Amino acid sequence: MALAGRATAAIGDGAHVPVLVIGTGYGGSVTALRLAQAGVDVHMLEMGQAWETPGSDGKIFPNTRTPDYRSYWLRTRTKQPLSNFLGFPLDKDVPRHAGILDAEEFAGITVYQGRGIGGGSLVNGGMAVTPRREHFGSVLPSVNPAEMYDVYYPRANAELGVNHVDPAWWETVDCYQYARVGRKHAQRSNFAFTLVPNVYDMNYMKQEAAGTATKSAVDGEILYGNNHGKKSLPKTYLARARATGRVRITPLHRVTSVTRAGTRYAIVVEQLDTSGNVTATKTVTADRVFFAAGSVGTSKLLTKLKATGALPNLNGEIGKGWGDNGNVMCGRANHLWDPTGTVQTSIPTAGIDNWAAGGAFAEVAPLPTGIETWASFYLSITKNPNRAQFTWNAAANRVDLSWQTAWKQPSITMAKTIFDKINSKEGTIYRTDLFGAYKIWGDHLTYHPLGGAVLNKATDNHGRLHGYPGLYVVDGALIPGNTTVNPFVTITALAERNIERIIAEDL
């Protein structure tokens, strides 16, 4: 999985760059590419690794079924989203390492995030869903839907390499048997069922299933990266950005401070080794800084900088409007005559849409255990109205989040509008062995953190931070808590919209 141009030598202490981008996920990658195309030199800092060197098994990424030192960000024990199976706990001890998946724990929720060049694109399921236009006003009320749907969503989908599964192939291949069972049950209860696009190369998956290409999705790879087939950011936006010759990326560097320094900004950066130890502290300067560390990373950093006086003129909206995209998971135990298959591709391609009536969209998710489970598994996205706030905890020298686990109850209620009805119709029950002992709902996590520096509140309507010319937010922190679907296409399209205006007006 060679990337276009290897990660460069580390940024030097005292360096000055025209533009510094903090983070290499969707918003940062869009920003770097468009600035470079406009003739601007860009340096990107990434807290995680470059993910270019195979391990002793010859693979860059480990399998979902066998997590190892590469799997988790600076943990000594795995924290798998599905923590139990058939009554047995699944987590195990691992060496502390700068692994690919961060399970960041706050008081009321665990937030899963990708760590490495490419950010969340390395670890997500690739479901590339554009929200229905009639829902867009609730997602980004200050943004003109016409420009998004006519210009920026199409641009994002093209650049991300979004494609569709072949419906005829989907109907017959064994690796989507689980999804066809999900469809049968949804339709028998009169729910709308839809195939959704993805950034996984569906032609490659056909070859995997046929045995003519090295298996990745069909071998259960997903949670800790895909070795083949997935069009993650290093293969799309970042490859194009590097090809301009104007973009350099330094991995294993964590930003701890940004302050005003005359007409520039001074940025303090910690260099990390792969065990998470700080090996150097550097100060660099930049004319402009783009915060692209993800909803949590950007929000935590800005909250700290405002509270500690590093950037005291940030406004009172910093840290507010954070949500979990209404994520909640559950499983159903099917009858013996509804096997879901021993071979399940890890790439989901289908969902149950009950948003209009019940406030829930349920992704029919895989359980790629390699054995028959007779289980249907779902990740629901719901219209959960609860929003949390990041605050600086000076005594503990950290940023806290006010989310409460009890705030997941609206999501559970909305998801039940689908699954109570299906269970009643099919004579089935919820699985109680996936998230602990006798626990039905996976209400302890989110894959889709959103908000914390909301567009047109913490920033102007194009991501410029109030109070500081030359500081911008370009990632999921801009989106107030919910996108009604998987969020990365919306994050990408919004970044395309905003950087186009910023280049036209600010540069």
pLDDT at 16: 98
For residues 152 and 489, is the Cβ–Cβ distance under 8 A? no
Per-residue pLDDT, 365: 98
Mean of the pLDDT values across residues 21-27?
98
pTM over the 0.75 mark: yes
Catalytic residue among 208, 221, 363, 496, which? 363
At 408, the amino acid letter reads K
Q: Is residue 164 annotated as a catalytic residue, yes or no?
A: no
Quick one: pLDDT at residue 55? 95
- Which band of pLDDT confidence, cut at 50, 70 and 90, is reported for residue 2? very low
Catalytic residue, candidates 43, 253, 444, 448: 448
pLDDT confidence of residue 504 = 98
Q: Which amino acid is at 100?
A: I
Phi, psi of 281 (to 5 degrees): -120, 130
In this predicted model, which residue has the larger pLDDT, 8 or 281? 281
pLDDT tens track for 64-82: 999 999 999 999 999 999 8
Cβ contacts of 11 within 8 Å, gap of 6 or more:
17, 43, 45, 248, 250, 253, 269, 282, 284
Q: Is the pLDDT of residue 479 over 50?
A: yes
Mean pLDDT in residue range 430-454: 96
Interacting residues of 118 by C-beta distance below 8 A, sequence separation 6+: 24, 25, 29, 51, 232, 233, 234, 238
* Other Cβ atoms within 10 Å of 279 Cβ, number: 11
Q: Going from the N-terminus, what domains does the chain have, and what CATH number goes with each?
A: 16-506 (3.50.50.60)
pLDDT value of position 8: 64
Mean pLDDT of the chain: 97
Q: Which residues contact 168 (CB under 8 A, 6 or more apart)?
A: none
Residue 6 has pLDDT above 70, yes or no: no
Q: Tell me if 489 sits within 8 A of 130, measured CB to CB.
A: yes
Q: What is the pLDDT of residue 59?
A: 98
Looking at residue 182, its pLDDT comes to: 98
- Residues 319-347 have pLDDT tens digits of 999 999 999 999 999 999 999 999 999 99
Q: Give 149's DSSP letter.
A: I
7 or 330: which leads in pLDDT: 330
**pLDDT tens track for 140-166:** 999 999 999 999 999 999 999 999 999
User: What's the average model confidence in pLDDT over 51-57?
Assistant: 96
Express each pLDDT in 230-277 by its tens digit.
999 999 999 999 999 999 999 999 999 999 999 999 999 999 999 999
Query: How is 417-483 classified by DSSP, letter by letter?
Result: HHHHHHHHHHT-EE--BSSSTTB--B-SEES--B-SS-TTTTB-TTSBBTT-TTEEE-SGGGS-S--
- Strand residues in 1-60 grouped as ranges (E): 16-22, 42-45
The DSSP 8-state label assigned to residue 12 in this structure reads P
Band of residue 437 on the pLDDT scale cut at 50, 70, 90: confident
Q: Write the secondary structure of 106-145 as one string of H (helix), E (strand) and C (coil).
A: CCCCEEEEECCCCHHHHCCCCECCCCCHHHHHHHCCCCCH
Question: Does 4 have pLDDT greater than 60?
Answer: no
> Which is nearest to 340 in space by CA: 368, 375, 364?
375
In the predicted model, is pLDDT for residue 7 greater than 80? no
Confidence check: pLDDT of 434 > 90:
yes
Helix and strand numbers (H, E) in the chain are 12, 20
pLDDT over threshold 60, residue 208: yes
Backbone angles phi, psi at 71, to 5 degrees: -80, -35
